[in-house]
Amino acid sequence: MSALLCVVAHPDDETILCGGTLAWLASSGVAVHYLCLTRGEGGELGEPPRCTRAELGQVREREMVCAVQALGGKSLTFLGYVDPEVGPDETLSAPAADLVMLAGQVVNSLKQFVAMASPCQVVLTHGSNGEYGHPAHQLTHRATLAAVASLGDSAPVLYSFAASYPGHPYPRLSNADDPADLVVNVSAYLDRKEAAARCHDTQTALFVRRRSQMAGRPLTLREVLLAEEAFRRHWPTESRGNDLFVEWLSAST
């Protein structure tokens, strides 16, 4: 069976940054697995608050379970790192994690799928700039790249999401140092992407706030979802023949 592993830092990253593509691939028969570093304990509580700060990790875990189901995902694993609370002036931080240890955990996850005779041929993760500079996203990118590179010839193809391209409708959510190798129109899967986004109930106000401010008017959740998702290949660094990620998306058009 074709399989993909999506490695993210927080619940909701999978939906907002590449949910349309993940839904597309799942509907095409690819087994899409999810690996999440934290439960998003440091994020917003919702407007009005949906829970207490102490409850937020459990709530966001349930939200991601809902989103993965909406996207047609096969499995979801949390690594258990604690997401630091957002600091003054919206200061963002990475969880306390050793890069080598974290990379080893990603490797172990990939080997687990091999042991189950369902190896992941493609890995997706955050971009090198952490999208809008989020330290946890940057850490996740570095650890995932190190994990994949350590596997040598047996390594899966590694792409980052939120790559940059001319005319990107929301450059803040793109990685300036990752020019896109592939831009995917996911308009046909916006219903499923929106359904997954609505699962992240504590975060929906966050999704629309900044975009509404930029637009100068209140926007709906549907209006702020990107209908194009862009990707940059990081491994292998040179072409080695067939690229399964490109093949899967080409076969689905």
pLDDT, one tens digit for every residue, the chain (253 residues) = 799 999 999 999 999 999 999 999 999 999 999 999 999 999 999 999 999 999 999 999 999 999 999 999 999 999 999 999 998 888 999 999 999 999 999 999 999 998 888 899 999 999 999 999 999 999 999 999 999 999 998 999 999 999 999 999 999 999 999 999 999 999 999 999 999 999 999 999 999 998 999 889 999 999 999 999 999 999 998 876 679 999 999 876 5
d(CA 126, CA 142) in angstroms, rounded, equals 9
Which pLDDT belongs to residue 1?
A: 77
Which pLDDT belongs to residue 214?
A: 86
Which pLDDT belongs to residue 89?
A: 85
What separation in angstroms does the CA of 185 have from each of 36, 51, 83, 194, 241? 25, 35, 32, 15, 24
3-class DSSP assignment, residue 125: strand
Domain boundaries, position 104: 3-252
Pairing of strands 75-81, 122-125: unpaired
Cβ(36)–Cβ(78) below 8 Å: yes
pTM for the complete prediction?
A: 0.96
- Phi and psi torsions of 106, nearest 5°: -65, -40
Cβ(113)–Cβ(98) below 8 Å: no
Cα dihedral sign, 221-224-230-231:
negative
Which pLDDT belongs to residue 160?
A: 98
d(CA 201, CA 94) in angstroms, rounded, equals 23
Q: For residue 7, how far is the Cα from the chain centroid?
A: 6
Burial 211-225, CB ≥16 within 10 A → b, else e: bbeeeeeebeeeebb
Which pLDDT belongs to residue 253?
A: 57
Number of domains in the chain: 1
What separation in angstroms does the CA of 177 have from each of 87, 91, 160, 172, 232? 26, 22, 11, 13, 10
| Residue 127: CATH number of its domain | 3.40.50.10320
